């Protein structure tokens, strides 16, 4: 995917150079050509093509957080049981 992006930026750069060096062209026209034909569409395509990867990373992070919360809750429950168990098993001494 990045090869196509690099190639398109190169083509647009050459279009901008042609615009700037033409006798009727201007530097401002070259800048607009580069931004409107190059950077804008390329940024949009890269963003749209990266959406599945971002979604996958978001789901992976959510799953990891859920597992961490589950492990923390389990550890807290076990610790709570350990604290309560000895107290419940202790028998009071009668004088």
Q: For residue range 5-58, list pLDDT tens digits in order.
A: 999 999 999 999 999 999 999 999 999 999 999 999 999 999 999 988 888 999
The answer to whether 30 and 16 have CB atoms below 8 angstroms apart is yes
pTM: 0.60
Locus of tokens 């995917």: 1
Cα separation, 8 vs 93, whole angstroms? 87
- Please give the structure tokens belonging to residue 11: 């083509």
List the single range of 13-22, 68-77, 79-88 with lowest mean pLDDT: 79-88
Q: Which long-range contacts (CB under 8 A, 24 or more apart) does 44-48 make?
A: 45/5, 46/1, 46/5
Cα separation, 78 vs 82, whole angstroms? 6
């Amino acid at each position: 995917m990045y090869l196509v992006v690099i190639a398109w930026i190169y083509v647009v750069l050459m279009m901008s150079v042609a615009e700037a060096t033409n006798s009727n062209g201007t530097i401002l026209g070259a800048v607009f050509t580069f931004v409107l034909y190059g950077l804008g569409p390329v940024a949009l395509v890269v963003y749209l093509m990266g959406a599945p990867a971002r979604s996958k990373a978001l789901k992976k992070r959510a799953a990891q957080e859920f597992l961490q919360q589950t492990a923390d809750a389990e550890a807290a429950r076990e610790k709570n049981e350990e604290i309560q168990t000895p107290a419940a098993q202790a028998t009071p001494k009668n004088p």
